[in-house]
Chains A and B, each alone.
Chain A
Amino acid sequence: MNQTMANGTQTHTLSALVANKPGVLARIAQVFARRGFNIDSLVVSPTRDGNFSRMTMTALGDPSGLDQIIKQVNKLVDVINCSDLTDKNIVVKELMMLKVRVQSDQRTELLQVAEHFGARSVDLTDESLTMMITGNSDKLDAYVELCKKYDIIELVRTGKVVMARGPQET
């Protein structure tokens, strides 16, 4: 699930609970950008309490640089807390939609692959099929791999959402 590069950099999954106010995302994005980190995926959504939002980010980088970023993000007044959930006991899920140009003769085969992965069709026309799949990122990657032999028109992924396992809050 966590991609580790030869030079020690790794994909990290960060989760932040933030005040639901304008500008919070810009403040956090600046902390990353200034230190040369690219945010690979980002999900922001309101929490149960509408005053707060949950942000889940993935970023590739060396652990010490990222550690400093987390400290800087925690320092922001509108951030309640931010932590690195990589290697923690969490449930990680992602949703993807994938649109393939397909004629009726290949449709069955494609639906068989989909069934194997638990993907389901959400839109169907004479020349295209759109599938939706949820799961961890590796599963989504594998699905994309198998679909590559067809003509993929476009795909879109939500980015990871995470939640701590067990009764405690994330």
Chain B
Amino acid sequence: MSKNEISGGEAIVRALESEGVEYLFGISGGSVIPIFDAIVTTKTNIKMVLTRHEQGATHMADGYARATGKPGVVLVTSGPGATNALTGMMTAHMDSVPMVVITGQSIRPMLGKDAFQEADIFGMAMPVVKHSYLVRETNDIPRIFREAFHISSTGRPGPVLIDIPKDVSAGLCSLDAKTDMDLPGYKPQVPPDHEAIMQMAEALSKSRRPVLLVGHGALIAGASAQVRAFAEKMNAPVMTTFLGKGAFPETHELSLGWPGMHGTAYANKALCECDLIMSIGSRFDDRILGRQDQFCKNAVKLHVDIDPAEIGKMIRPDIYCVGDAREVVEELTKHVGRLNTEEWVSHLADYKKSFPLKYRKTGGLKMQHVVDELYRMTEGRAVVVTDVGQHQMWAGQFYRTDYPDNWISSGGAGTMGFGVPAAVGAQFGRPNDLVVCISGDGGFQMMNQELTTAVIHKLPIKFFVMNNHYLGMVRQWQELFYEDRKSGVDLEGNPDFVKMAEAYGMKGFNLKRPGDVKRILKKALDYNEGPCLVNAEVEKTDNVFPMVPAGKPLEDMLISRPRHKLDKPTGST
């Protein structure tokens, strides 16, 4: 090695340092040994977090990214290491999360020859990444890493894969290697079209029953203050999407919570009655639309999105503006005044009173009760990370989110197993904030090995297992639409989760009676010797309402359990 050269592994570590990376989440393996070696030889300050499964590494990076806004970085080996990371890439892709995934690869002469632990991850990952690289020359490392971080974190963020053959990371990189980006086809952001903004202002001025639908894009753009000023100036009601929770305070009097399949009744009713809907950084997800062709039938539709491919994908807007949510809203706010919405706002306030989210504290222990009490005792300030299923919907309903980046949940992908590792990643990113993880017993067991990481690093996360001994959401569908024929949902044989926590070296608490909720929660929240776990033995067969059966228009929302038999849903899951 001449003085003017460093190893490929070292070039990778230096590239990560220059991007300001704090943590690498991953697992070593044969084809990444040169990179893991460089972590030692460079004496870098980047901390390597050794997970117990590559999928766990990707969700950790995801949780870190959503909690901080910075790209999460994953480092795993080739073959099964890389394929295990696919689910995490897909999860990040669906929810526009910045992530850089570095995978090892067989040496170049062996590519395509079924070498040991060879997988064409570049090919496999194509539909679930924003972009991907197979690094063919060691001297390309500095440029490719710079491009990857840029692509991952600008415009509509997403995961970027960098697949690195072992002989490339073990090769030599010139210190003069180019770092200039070469991305002639990448157009992450365009300035908002003034004409469209003026047309939107005009449409808003005519509206008497407007609603703003504020999505994850507004959070990514850091537009929550601008959205609030915009809504307050117009006196327009706001609903945040499930992933947009925190973009507008849910305790604000203009807030309608979140709409859609298990959203609030008043948000869905507002969608049925509005004369104008303006989406700011939402993609009109199918969970929100109900029946696509019936959605907001009589309303003028405005769409603001940074991604031109979202315009007209689900809903054809009357007026649209491609651009950054913060820039568009800031500009638009200058051109609007207070709208004539007194009647509409008071009408919706009546709906909020008549159709509140509710549950009974009597009878068996309810997940809603645990979440509701957690919300009160943490004063709504916790970073809440969820898994996927019934508990996720109730967490979304009863843990109201007032602050940006405090709600972390797998929305688009609905990846069970997300909660535990994502909470670990979030706590790494936000060491001074309270992080709680709400999982069901199903999803918890898909990634519980990552508790080890929380224990080793003494992360004070509160893990809640909402244990109903069922895959509850599917059981709910079977009860409502399939004459209660339970199939593949009974989680008999669950381990004792408190003993399991203890086996990992954590504190565990059992919670069984509604009367104990406050006491146990206080114990968990006061516990500061690292992570702890609360096993909440909840009612086994409770159902989430409101519910819009998949494929039905929002008008057909069920506020509570119907007495009549329901048809099998026609819409997607």
Q: Give me the interface of A with B, judged by CB distance under 8 Å.
A: 18-19, 22-23, 26-27, 30, 34, 64, 67-68, 71-72, 74-81
Q: How far is the CA of A68 from the CA of B309 in the complex (A)?
A: 7
Q: Are A30 and B185 in contact (CB under 8 A)?
A: no
Range of interface residues on B (Cβ < 8 Å): 10 to 19
Q: How far is the CA of A26 from the CA of B312 in the complex (A)?
A: 25
Q: How far is the CA of A46 from the CA of B186 in the complex (A)?
A: 20
The 0/1 profile, CB within 8 Å of A marked 1, for residues 141-154 of chain B is: 00000000001000
Given contacts A68-B312, A74-B308, contact A23 B185 (CB under 8 A): no
Q: Are B185 and A18 in contact (CB under 8 A)?
A: yes
Q: How far is the CA of A30 from the CA of B309 in the complex (A)?
A: 16
Q: Are B127 and A77 in contact (CB under 8 A)?
A: no
Which residue from B127, B308, B309 sits with its C-beta under 8 Å from A34? B127
Given contacts A23-B132, A27-B126, A30-B127, contact A76 B185 (CB under 8 A): yes
Q: How far is the CA of A71 from the CA of B122 in the complex (A)?
A: 23
Chain B hits for A79, CB < 8 A: 185
Which residues of B175-192 have CB atoms within 8 Å of chain A's CB atoms? 183-186
Which residue from B122, B126, B127, B309 sits with its C-beta under 8 Å from A75? B309
The 0/1 profile, CB within 8 Å of A marked 1, for residues 119-148 of chain B is: 000110011001110100000000000000
Q: Judge if B307 is at the interface, Cβ distance under 8 Å.
A: yes
The residue on A at minimum CB distance from B127 is A30
User: B134, B186, B307, B311: which has the most chain A beta carbons within 10 Å?
Assistant: B186
Q: How far is the CA of A46 from the CA of B420 in the complex (A)?
A: 49
Chain A hits for B307, CB < 8 A: 75
Chain A hits for B127, CB < 8 A: 30, 34
Given contacts A77-B183, A80-B184, A80-B185, contact A72 B126 (CB under 8 A): no
Q: Number of contacts between A and B (CB, 8 Å)?
A: 44
Chain A hits for B151, CB < 8 A: 77
Q: How far is the CA of A19 from the CA of B308 in the complex (A)?
A: 21
Q: Are A68 and B313 in contact (CB under 8 A)?
A: yes
Q: Are A77 and B308 in contact (CB under 8 A)?
A: no
The 0/1 profile, CB within 8 Å of A marked 1, for residues 277-313 of chain B is: 0000000000000000000000000000001110111
Q: How far is the CA of A74 from the CA of B307 in the complex (A)?
A: 11
The residue on B at minimum CB distance from A76 is B185
Chain B hits for A80, CB < 8 A: 184-185
Closest 10 CB pairs of A and B: A71-B309, A77-B131, A80-B185, A77-B186, A79-B185, A75-B309, A72-B309, A78-B185, A80-B184, A30-B127
Q: Are B134 and A22 in contact (CB under 8 A)?
A: yes
Could you give 5 example pairs across A and B, Cβ below 8 Å? Answer: A23-B123, A23-B126, A71-B309, A74-B309, A77-B131
Chain A hits for B131, CB < 8 A: 76-78
The residue on B at minimum CB distance from A19 is B185
The residue on A at minimum CB distance from B155 is A75
Q: How far is the CA of A9 from the CA of B550 in the complex (A)?
A: 29
Q: Give me the interface of B with A, judged by CB distance under 8 Å.
A: 122-123, 126-127, 130-132, 134, 151, 183-186, 307-309, 311-313
Q: Are B185 and A71 in contact (CB under 8 A)?
A: no
Chain B hits for A34, CB < 8 A: 127
Q: Are B123 and A26 in contact (CB under 8 A)?
A: yes
Q: How far is the CB of B279 from chain A (nearest CB, A)?
A: 17
Which residue from A64, A67, A68, A77 sits with its C-beta under 8 Å from B185? A77
Q: A23-B126, A23-B132, A68-B309 are in contact. List 20 more A-B contacts (CB 8 A).
A: A18-B185, A19-B184, A19-B185, A22-B134, A23-B122, A23-B123, A26-B123, A30-B127, A34-B127, A67-B312, A68-B313, A71-B309, A75-B309, A76-B131, A77-B130, A77-B131, A77-B151, A78-B131, A80-B184, A81-B185
Chain A hits for B313, CB < 8 A: 68, 71
Q: How far is the CB of B315 from chain A (nearest CB, A)?
A: 13
Chain A hits for B134, CB < 8 A: 22-23
Q: How far is the CA of A26 from the CA of B151 in the complex (A)?
A: 20
Q: How far is the CA of A75 from the CA of B185 in the complex (A)?
A: 9
The residue on A at minimum CB distance from B147 is A77
Q: How far is the CA of A86 from the CA of B312 in the complex (A)?
A: 21
User: A19, A23, A76, A77: which has the most chain B beta carbons within 10 Å?
Assistant: A77
Chain A hits for B186, CB < 8 A: 77
Chain B hits for A19, CB < 8 A: 184-185
The residue on A at minimum CB distance from B122 is A23
Chain A hits for B132, CB < 8 A: 23
Q: Are A26 and B185 in contact (CB under 8 A)?
A: no
Q: How far is the CA of A71 from the CA of B313 in the complex (A)?
A: 10
User: B126, B183, B184, B313: which has the most chain A beta carbons within 10 Å?
Assistant: B184
User: B126, B132, B183: which has the most chain A beta carbons within 10 Å?
Assistant: B126
Q: How far is the CB of A77 from chain B (nearest CB, A)?
A: 4
The residue on B at minimum CB distance from A69 is B309
Q: How far is the CA of A22 from the CA of B132 in the complex (A)?
A: 11
Q: Are B308 and A30 in contact (CB under 8 A)?
A: no
Q: Are A30 and B126 in contact (CB under 8 A)?
A: yes
Chain A hits for B126, CB < 8 A: 23, 26-27, 30
The residue on B at minimum CB distance from A67 is B312
Q: How far is the CA of A74 from the CA of B190 in the complex (A)?
A: 14
Q: How far is the CA of A147 from the CA of B126 in the complex (A)?
A: 44
Q: How far is the CB of A71 from chain B (nearest CB, A)?
A: 4
The residue on A at minimum CB distance from B156 is A75
Q: How far is the CA of A40 from the CA of B286 in the complex (A)?
A: 31
Chain A hits for B308, CB < 8 A: 71, 74-75
User: A23, A64, A68, A80: which has the most chain B beta carbons within 10 Å?
Assistant: A23
